[in-house]
C-alpha cells in the first residue's frame, strides 16, 4: 500500500465532512456534528481561515485526514501546532497511516518554528494512546480541559 499526504483543498470538503462524521460516530458523538460542506469551506478555506487540513491517501483513495491550527505559548513566546482532529478509516488502521500523518504535522510544526505540537485524546481510546506513547508523546495529566459551548457560552457572554 502506497500512502501519500497532501494539503486539502476546497474540493475535499465532502470527504472531510464524511471523515468528521465517521470520527464523531466512533467517539459516540455523531449527534453533535453541526458541520456542513458550506461551513467547512468557509472555515477551512475562506478568507481569514486559521486552520490547516491534510488528506492521507492510500493508493489514491482518501484514507484519513487531519485538521490543525496554530496556538500560542506565552512561556515560549512561540506558536504551537494544535491537532484538532486526526482520523484514519478503519480499513487502514494498524498500517502506520496515523503515524505518517502525525509525522507530517510534526514536520509542519518544525518548519514553522513551533515550540510545541499538542492534541487531546479520549481516555478510552487505547489504540490511539498506544501510538502516541510509542512516538514519544507525553500526556499532560495535570491539565483539565474546560469548555463553554452552546447556550452556556451565550449566557456567560451576555453576563
Output the CA–CA distances (angstroms, integers) from residue 2 to 63, 92, 105, in the order listed.
11, 11, 19
User: 10: Cβ–Cβ under 8 A, 6 or more apart, which residues?
Assistant: 41, 44, 45
Output the CA–CA distances (angstroms, integers) from residue 18 to 29, 57, 78, 131, 151, in the order listed.
14, 14, 33, 24, 27
DSSP string, 39-81: HHIIIIISTT--EEEEEEEETTEEEEEEEEEEEEETTTTEEEE
Distance CA 46, CA 48 (A): 6
The residues annotated with a catalytic role in the active site are 132
Amino acid at each position: 500500500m502506497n500512502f501519500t499526504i497532501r494539503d486539502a483543498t476546497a474540493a475535499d470538503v465532502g470527504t472531510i465532512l464524511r471523515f468528521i462524521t465517521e470520527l464523531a460516530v466512533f467517539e459516540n458523538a455523531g449527534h453533535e456534528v453541526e458541520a456542513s460542506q458550506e461551513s467547512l469551506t468557509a472555515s477551512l478555506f475562506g478568507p481569514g481561515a486559521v486552520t490547516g487540513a491534510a488528506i492521507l491517501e492510500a493508493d489514491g483513495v482518501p484514507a484519513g485526514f487531519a485538521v490543525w491550527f496554530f496556538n500560542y505559548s506565552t512561556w515560549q513566546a512561540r506558536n504551537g501546532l494544535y491537532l484538532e482532529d486526526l482520523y484514519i478509516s478503519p480499513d487502514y488502521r494498524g498500517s502506520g497511516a496515523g503515524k505518517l500523518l502525525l509525522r507530517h504535522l510534526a514536520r509542519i510544526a518544525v518548519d514553522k518554528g513551533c515550540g510545541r505540537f499538542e492534541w487531546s485524546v479520549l481516555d478510552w481510546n487505547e489504540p490511539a494512546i498506544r501510538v502516541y506513547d510509542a512516538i514519544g508523546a507525553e500526556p499532560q495529566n495535570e491539565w483539565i480541559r474546560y469548555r463553554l459551548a452552546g447556550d452556556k457560552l451565550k449566557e456567560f457572554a451576555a453576563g
